[in-house]
Chains A and B, each alone.
Chain A
């Protein structure tokens, strides 16, 4: 009997038959996350219903020396939830209870499979909401958000997932259940909570998450400003930030992204716009009113030829509809695309966008830009047609060159989508061997056997207990198809 067969027997006994999947056909539905060109069929899928069952699965994996990968909704864009061919995929889809909403503590306690937007839905009647709002918030899970330290349009003002998670219950890779942080702030000891958030499933499985709830703002005002090009829109962004205004969000779309959004959702943005900005301010009415006028003026001063101010929630939703649907919409104008997630210092925006244009031209591909302008988090969408010989390779090259550009300007290879399987190869461009080695000291503390989501984030795993500097060879993705 193979290791996996034995594992399946053990897990069926403890989780029940219907929560252990080994049927090849059914396993296939889990072969990829949101980055569909990486595909690996897992050996087994477990669907635990509670913490004890997660611990049971992890312990079984630890005993058998079998790797495991956690999966929430599978919307990740870096191959973070890409299964291991000989491993177990732990899917949190059956852990979707909101355990408590406590406005008096400004906290909610939820299971990891809970969908991001559901937390806000449950808190809104009390006058609160959950601030981190990835564009995928209708489908992605809080556990996935924790693992990726996900961001969203409104993170410019409110911070990222890591600023809104105050407590975790985690199953560490040895199967032990540990609490990190909680309802109260500032737990004594190392901030392991802070280390866990953003660790992409490599330090264990989050089984319960305590999040901060934010008071709903008194006032929200949104404008859509149309510019001739991205230079003007970038200058307006810098002017707004430079004036000391901290908007809730500043989002930019370029001509190609607008074209895609129009084709998909007919958002009706101003005709002839080479770039649009969506700027949203929120807070006490008295503050928002004063700052909104200023933003309006700064957009005009920097060349906005049309400014629309959302009159009501419906119009505001329409502004956002174009932006939030942009990724998917790109499918309307191109059969295939790669999404990048690099970050640059905001002041370098116009220059970097120009250089991306040059790169695109040099590689014979088109690049659509739709991104979080306020914090310099680019999402260049490199468009190509896989059916055309050589285009995929050229798109991949252009995409790598864009990453180099972000690093050259002092930025990062990823602002919110994570490193996962996709960008592990780029990590040495941003960090030295010693940097990566030091991060892996944390990994070794949590997971000395290296069974939690192996092969993600780090291009070369550190053999724990080994003296720094010596590495064993890189792991290969068995069966992974990379373009």
Chain B
């Protein structure tokens, strides 16, 4: 297996994933090289790693022979400004994608790669206006666990030819194969923006939505009792809209967001949860006693939990409200006894999808829902 020998180095302690040591680490430099590597690694269990900012998310792998490091799969392949699209390699850090007066409207932590962002489907405050990865991803190139390269979608925003594999790979946690390239739709960089900050209960989010000012984000932080709204647009429009909101909420217009804006509410060694509920249930969730933070405009919030009892309480509440509660990250003693994903509708079908793509269950084994 010359490709493996050429590309792989032995894993070190730093390469362990959720406490599971990696035997080998390889960083391919192109889709072709990645395909050759994966074709040569047919007997190995594999975990894919970008910048590693979310490598502790999900369940630790059941086995780990090879880490595929995507950071050499890096760079912007194309930025067609007139068409508002870009094609980037998966290992490119989000922060390094320079697009001039356009933006790839994905909120991600500093350093996280494009591929990692797609694979764990992170989102932030601006999801209210711009949507999430699934709404911005218009094409994808992947290497399947059997080493075959496949793409779907393309580089035009409107396209219904064939199945949308980009959606399937979004949030798949590396269990279906390696993402090597992504095409995204872009948005014009807003000429002006402002934040409206107020002490206000989550109920007020509904009034913001009704005000027809088209906010880009509505965030709450129940611990501080604050509500903040992002308004983007033309200078004249932003001035008028933010003034209207400040009056409505009894708050202030500011150039900067509050310190908690878009920040995970858990410490680096804590239990972090993502809660999603129907919009009308946000006030009840926010008033439930457990501090929550996040998008009151879409019903996706985050919480720190201090232990399993709190996880289960929050999960029971979210499920009762018609939503979901997922543990994104947890320290190892808790993780080992915790159900990180909670109830998963459609699990039987998901297993069938996994079996088709990765019949040997070699890619990120055990990391995903239902032990996938």
- Chain A residues engaging chain B, CB cutoff 8 angstroms: 102, 104-107, 127, 148-149, 151, 155, 159-160, 162-163, 172, 176, 178-180, 182-195, 197-199, 215-218, 238, 241-242, 244-246, 283-284, 286-287, 289-291, 343-347, 372, 375-377, 410-419, 423, 427, 430-432, 434-439, 441-446, 457, 464, 468
Q: A184, A436, A437: which has the most chain B beta carbons within 10 Å?
A: A184
Q: Does the CB pair A286–B241 fall under 8 Å?
A: yes
A215 touches B210 (CB 8 A): yes
Question: Shortest beta-carbon distance, B150 to chain A, in Å?
Answer: 4
* Inter-subunit contact A191/B83 (CB<8 Å): no
Q: Binary interface profile of B, 329-341, with partner A (CB < 8 Å = 1, else 0)?
A: 0000000000001
* Distance A286 CA – B211 CA, assembled complex (angstroms): 13
CB < 8 Å neighbour of B156 from A376, A419, A442: A376
3 closest residue pairs by CB, A with B = A194-B167, A244-B188, A438-B150
- Whether B158 pairs with A244 at a CB distance below 8 angstroms is no
B316 → A minimal CB distance (Å): 15
Q: With CB as the reference atom, state the residue of chain A lying closest to B295.
A: A185
Across the interface, name the chain B residue whose C-beta is closest to A183.
B278
B276 CB to nearest chain A CB (Å): 5
A430 with B161: in contact, given A172-B349, A290-B234 (CB under 8 Å)?
Answer: yes
Beyond A184-B276, A186-B274, A438-B148, is A412–B154 a contact (Cβ under 8 Å)? Answer: yes
Q: Is B355 an interface residue (CB 8 A)?
A: yes
In the complex, the answer to whether A344 meets B156 with C-beta atoms within 8 Å is: yes
A375 contacts which chain B residues (CB < 8 A)?
156-158
Docked-complex contact A468 and B345, CB < 8 angstroms: no
Contact B167 A416 (CB under 8 A): no
For the complex with contacts A418-B160, A457-B162, 14 further pairs of A-B residues with Cβ separation under 8 Å are A105-B278, A186-B324, A187-B276, A188-B341, A189-B171, A189-B369, A190-B176, A242-B82, A244-B188, A286-B237, A287-B237, A410-B155, A435-B151, A437-B148
Task: With A194-B134, A434-B150 as known contacts, state yes or no: A439 contacts B165, CB within 8 Å.
Answer: yes
Q: With A102-B280, A197-B164, A347-B80 as given contacts, are A415 and B159 in contact (CB-CB < 8 Å)?
A: yes
Among B144, B323, B342, B355, contact of A438 (Cβ-Cβ < 8 Å) = B144
CB atoms of A244 and B101 under 8 A apart: yes
Are A347 and B148 interface neighbours, CB within 8 A?
A: no
Q: Is B170 an interface residue (CB 8 A)?
A: yes
B361 interface residue, CB < 8 Å from A? no
Are B164 and A194 in contact, CB atoms less than 8 angstroms apart?
A: yes
Q: Does B113 contact A (CB under 8 A)?
A: no
Q: Which residues of A contact B157 (CB under 8 A)?
A: 375-376
Is B341 within 8 A of A442, CB to CB?
A: no
Q: B164 — which chain A residues lie within 8 A by C-beta?
A: 149, 162, 194-195, 197-198
Q: Which of B286-304 contact A (CB under 8 A)?
A: 298-300
Contact status A283-B158, CB under 8 Å: no
- Shortest B14–chain A CB gap in Å is 29
The CA of A345 and the CA of B279, in the complex, are separated in Å by: 36
Residues of A within 8 A of B101 (CB): 244
Partner of B349, one of A183, A432, A445: A445
Distance (whole angstroms) from the CB of B339 to the closest CB of chain A: 11
A287 to B191, CA, bound (A): 12
Interface check B172, CB cutoff 8 A: yes
- Shortest B332–chain A CB gap in Å is 21
B357 CB-CB contact with A under 8 Å: yes
Name the residue on A nearest B163 (C-beta): A439
Collect the chain B residues with CB atoms within 8 Å of residue A162's CB.
Answer: 134, 164, 167
- With beta carbons under 8 angstroms apart, the residue of B85, B160, B350, B352 that contacts A149 is B160
Flag if A194 contacts B170 (CB, 8 Å): yes
A445 interface neighbour in B165, B321, B355, B370, Cβ under 8 Å: B355
Contact with A along B205-226 (1 / 0, CB 8 A): 0100110111000000000000
Chain A residue contacts of B20, Cβ below 8 A: none
Q: Are B324 and A184 in contact (CB under 8 A)?
A: yes
Asked whether any CB of chain A lies closer than 8 Å to the CB of B30, the reply is no
- Within residues 139 to 153 of chain B, which ones have a CB less than 8 A from any CB in chain A? 142, 144, 146, 148-152
Query: Is the Cβ of B165 less than 8 Å from the Cβ of A438?
Result: yes
Bound Cα distance from A132 to B120, whole angstroms: 28
Partner of A184, one of B159, B299, B344, B353: B299
Given A186-B274, A413-B161: A241 and B84 interface contact (C-beta under 8 Å)? yes
Q: Are A468 and B148 in contact (CB under 8 A)?
A: yes
A417 to B298 alpha-carbon distance, docked (Å): 30
Residues of A within 8 Å of B370, CB to CB, are 189
Q: How many residues of B contact A (CB 8 A)?
A: 88
Which residues of B lie under 8 Å from residue A430 when comparing CB positions?
Answer: 154, 161-162
Q: Chain A residues near B142 (CB, 8 Å)?
A: 438
B109 within 8 A of partner (CB): no
Known: A190-B171, A192-B346, A195-B168. A436 touches B158 (CB 8 A): no
B residues near A (Cβ < 8 Å) are 80-85, 101, 121, 123, 131-132, 134-135, 142, 144, 146, 148-152, 154-168, 170-172, 176, 187-189, 191, 206, 209-210, 212-214, 233-234, 236-237, 239-241, 274, 276-280, 298-300, 321-324, 326, 341-342, 344-350, 352-353, 355-357, 368-370
In Å, the complex CA distance between A218 and B210 comes to 10
Query: Chain B nearest CB: distance from A447 CB in Å?
Result: 10
Residues of A contacting B170 with CB < 8 Å? 191, 194
Bound CA span A239–B83, Å: 11
In the complex, chain B residues whose CB is within 8 Å of the CB of A246: 187-188
Beta-carbon contact of B159 and A438 below 8 Å: no
Complex CA–CA separation, A411 to B154 (angstroms): 7
Q: How far is the CA of A442 from the CA of B354 in the complex (A)?
A: 9
> Does A199 lie within 8 Å of B154, measured CB to CB?
no
Contact A283 B160, beta carbon cutoff 8 Å: no
Cβ distance A45 to chain B, nearest Cβ, rounded Å:
26
A459 to chain B, nearest CB (A): 11
Q: Give A432 to B142 CA distance when docked, in angstroms.
A: 13
Most chain B C-beta atoms within 10 Å of own C-beta, residue among A148, A241, A445:
A445
Evaluate contact between A105 and B279: CB separation under 8 angstroms: yes
Chain A residues lying within 8 Å of B168, measured Cβ to Cβ, are 190-192, 194-195, 442
A438 to chain B, nearest CB (A): 4
Question: What are 6 pairs between A and B in contact, CB < 8 Å?
Answer: A151-B158, A186-B132, A191-B168, A195-B165, A287-B214, A442-B353
Asked if B80 contacts A345 (CB within 8 A), the reply is yes
A149 to B159, CA, bound (A): 9
With A186-B121, A215-B210, A375-B158: A442-B274 Cβ-Cβ less than 8 Å:
no
A412 interface neighbour in B144, B156, B321, Cβ under 8 Å? B156
A286 to B214 Cα, complex, angstroms: 11
In the bound complex, how far is the Cα of B88 from the Cα of A230, in angstroms?
32
Closest chain A residue to B206 by CB distance?
A: A104
A149 cross-chain contacts in B, Cβ below 8 A: 160, 164
Q: Is the CB of A435 within 8 A of B171?
A: no
Which residues in A have their C-beta under 8 angstroms from that of B280? 102, 104-105
List chain A residues, Cβ under 8 A from B298. Answer: 185
List chain A residues, Cβ under 8 A from B210. Answer: 127, 215
> Which residues of the partner chain B approach A218 to less than 8 Å between Cβ atoms?
212-213
Closest-CB distance, A235 to chain B (whole angstroms)? 11
List A contacts of B241 (CB < 8 A): 284, 286-287
Cα–Cα, bound, A85→B191 (Å)? 57
Cα-based distance from A159 to B160 in the complex (angstroms): 13
Enumerate chain A residues within 8 angstroms of B135, measured Cβ to Cβ.
159, 163
With known contacts A159-B131, A188-B341, A437-B148, A416–B160 Cβ distance under 8 A: yes
Taking A190-B353, A435-B150, A445-B356 as contacts, is the C-beta distance between A291 and B161 under 8 angstroms?
no
Q: With the chains together, A284 CA to B142 CA distance in Å?
A: 41
Nearest-CB residue, chain A, relative to B280: A104
B169 to chain A, nearest CB (A): 9
State A151–B150 Cα separation when bound (angstroms). Answer: 26
Q: Give complex CA distance A346, B156 in Å.
A: 9
